[in-house]
Chain A
Amino acid sequence: MTQDNKKLLHFLTKNKNFNIKVSEPFNKLVIDFLNDFSNKLRKNKKIQLYPNLLYLMFWCSKKKFENLSKNYLGKNIKLGRGLVFHVCPSNVPTNFIYSFFFGILSGNSNIVKIPSKDFEEKKIIISTINFLFKNKKYSKIKNSNCFIQYKDNNETTKKISAVCDGRVLWGGDQTINEIRKFWIPERSIEITFPDRYSLSIINLKELKKLSFNEIKLLAKKFYYDGYSMNQLACNSPHFIFWIGKKNEKLQNYFWEEVSKFAKKNFIFDDIHVVDKYSNLIENIINQNEFKGLKTFKNFLYVINPSSKTNKIENIRGINGTFFQKNINEIKKLKKYITKKCQTISYFGFDNVYLKTFLLNNNLLGVDRVVPIGKALEIDIIWDGYDVINSLSRTISLE
């Protein structure tokens, strides 16, 4: 690192002790840090109001990472790559902290551009981190990592890009393309998490075997996946494929239950309704005539699109608007899966069956296949990357 670059980093991080440090992935200090982060969050009463913070709290548990580390650390030596620059979306309140954790867990120093919007979750996270940074034990982490906030300042993005060893980009396609114009050094790697599309599949044959209470539970899980992020996350489902012999009664029963959960749990502000109705009308204008449109008040809209509808990645709902289609076998799903497809959440299929489908259909999309209810969970295997392996170097030693 040249003297100039060092100065630049001190300036940008506002920390004259800032130094790039690398370590082995799942370093004990980092695991302790995450665990203390989790404990500190747990003590904050406010997090009860934020399911995403509760989830984050559990996500950081020590045990999980101690177990995970066993899969990663074998006979080869692994080390972080150096300085990782994370550009996180301004409209997802907790995304930046996962990106940061990916960075430190894989043994890197990090500069994390955090959302400009003042989400309450963001404030809680940052104050928790600052609290831990005061602890002498974590001064090494403090002096090799930095959270930075600035508005669309291309100069800053350009400067940090030019000195980073890895860049992690989250955001809409346009944003990512714009940031990608900024040069990163030859050896630097880049991981992009652009806009994606997600869908659900339900095996009707298996659904039929469920008791009403079990269907209710499935509907609850689906509600959680679909509504939690206002249906705006890239892993929120928009389309649901019913696979097997059509069973309208059962399907309607499922939707009925989803709408009940929405009624009980979703906070409908006036603007949510406006957004939802506007989105519905836009879908009407943009598409061929629907075969069916069922509204459960404004809690839930279910649309049977025209049978001519093939390209589904641009068909999106908001605040609980879902499109549905019946297909008789999973093979028919193939034509709907494009590169943009990220998560398939499923019910009623076993792993062997899904594996066969995924391996044998020449698929260019789909990076996650998870049971319904887990669509929003974030994992260190994300968007097709093993993030730990991607952000670290493997040194061969014979």
Chain B
Amino acid sequence: MNYVNKLYQEEPYSLNKKEKSKIFSSALAALTLHHYKNCEPYKKIIKNFKFNIKNNQKIKNFPMIPVRLFKKYDLKSVPSSKVIKKLVSSGTTGDQLSKIYLDKNNAKNQIRVLQKIMQSLIGKKRLPMLIIDQDPKLSDRSTFNARAAAIYGFSLFGTNYCYLLNKDNKIKYNALNNFLKKYGKNKFFIFGFTSIIFENLLKKFSGKSLNFNFKNGILLHGGGWKKLEKIKINNNIFKKKLFNKLQLKNVYNYYGLVEQTGSIFIECKCGYFSTSNFSDILIRDKHFNIAKNGKRGLIQLISLLPTSYPGHNILTEDIGEIIGEDTCKCGTKGKYFLVHGRAKEAEIRGCSDAR
């Protein structure tokens, strides 16, 4: 799709509402038509909704795919022979996992767009990178898939890697001190999963064994707040604790689905997630009407990247709210929003599954 190439020339948060809706309307029409032609199940959906694929449609009218679909079906818009990579979602054991099939072009675009977005966070150069996890090479890959994929994905922006944890999940203080001694005086990049960072950097970590500080670090973390919510840790407390303990002040949360890898949402300076030029968000009420800004509802995510699988327009199971568009105080264009976790799980009643 040419839209990605075109937008790649711009800064990642440059489009205002009017420019964006114009581009997205035609980009979505093109993507919808592409998947309609190349993915049989997707075609059925469009046909059953009697949706007419043409330009100048309102973005909210394009049929959305429930995210659960990627768990139940193998959805591809390219022949199997073109698939070079399969992404698998994280999930607790027993859950079905999402399967995302990438061809060369889709995989390339994911990396390029992620690069574009990351540049605004850490700059154009690769930085020394501290990973708050174990080296995926040391772990059992089958249970480590999604975490490993994220670590490998973000490793593209780092160099001189240091893994904080050893195989037994113990903190490697020596390696850390060496890393900070060597690179801590300048900007460096820290990556990890929110709950693992909490567990290790905030709970387990002993400041006494640290000879240096994290002042120059830029921390990017994601993966959700489910575990931390239970112990009443929110983003603000998390940041405060990191600052108090490690003098770490540049802390950014990101939000994204494996179904839309690449076009992730990174927290802006004001503490909100922002859409980039490659992504959009809509909030739906219980009847799929568009919720007003400031009202909570189901999150629908749009990405221009998915071409080898029909994941460009997804209804998630997350709850969020849009704060505004183009008006964030940090100057970032696009919608800025908050995520409030998963829609509360229903008590599943019925006879069809016991135990």
Contacts and interface: CB of A to CB of B under 8 A. Distances in A.
A216 to B, nearest CB: 23
A193 B354 CA distance: 11
A350 interface: no
Interface in B279-328: 286-288, 297-298, 315, 317, 319
B46 to A, nearest CB: 10
B48 interface: yes
A241 to B, nearest CB: 22
Interface residues of A, number: 47
Contact of B68 (A92, A278, A289): A278
Interface stretch (B104-112, B223-231, B245-253, B342-350): B342-350
Contact of A274 (B49, B72, B315): B315
A271 B317 contact: yes
Contact of A281 (B45, B286, B349): B45
A271 B349 CA distance: 14
Interface string B57-82: 00000000110110011000000000
Interface stretch (A34-42, A128-136, A169-177): A169-177
Which secondary structure dominates where chain A touches chain B? loop
B41 A229 contact: no
Contacts of A117: 347
A398 interface: no
Contacts of B350: 89, 91-92, 229-230, 232-234, 236
15 contacts: A90-B354, A170-B354, A171-B351, A171-B354, A171-B355, A196-B351, A229-B349, A230-B346, A233-B351, A269-B343, A270-B298, A274-B343, A275-B346, A281-B66, A285-B45
Contacts of A236: 350
Contacts of B355: 89-90, 116, 151-152, 171, 175
Contacts of A89: 350-351, 353-355
A87 interface: yes
Contact of A175 (B41, B68, B353): B353
A277 interface: yes
Nearest to A171: B354
Contacts of B65: 281
Given A91-B348, A293-B49, 17 more contacts: A89-B350, A89-B351, A89-B353, A91-B347, A117-B347, A171-B354, A230-B346, A232-B349, A236-B350, A268-B286, A274-B315, A274-B317, A275-B346, A282-B72, A285-B69, A285-B73, A298-B288
B52 to A, nearest CB: 15
Interface string A230-253: 101110100000000000000000
A270 B68 contact: no
B169 interface: no
B352 A195 contact: yes
A171 B353 contact: yes
B45 to A, nearest CB: 5
Interface of B: 41, 44-45, 47-49, 65-66, 68-69, 72-73, 286-288, 297-298, 315, 317, 319, 343-355
* A-B complex: 3 closest residue pairs judged by Cβ atoms: A171-B354, A232-B350, A89-B354
Given A275-B346, A289-B48, A298 B353 contact: no
A284 interface: yes
Contacts of B66: 274, 277-278, 281
Interface string A254-284: 0000000000000011111111011001101
Nearest to A278: B66
Contacts of B288: 273, 277, 298
A170 B68 contact: no
Nearest to A282: B72
A334 to B, nearest CB: 25
B347 A170 contact: no
Contacts of A289: 44, 47-48
Interface string A142-174: 000000000110000000000000000011100
A293 B286 CA distance: 19
B298 A274 contact: yes
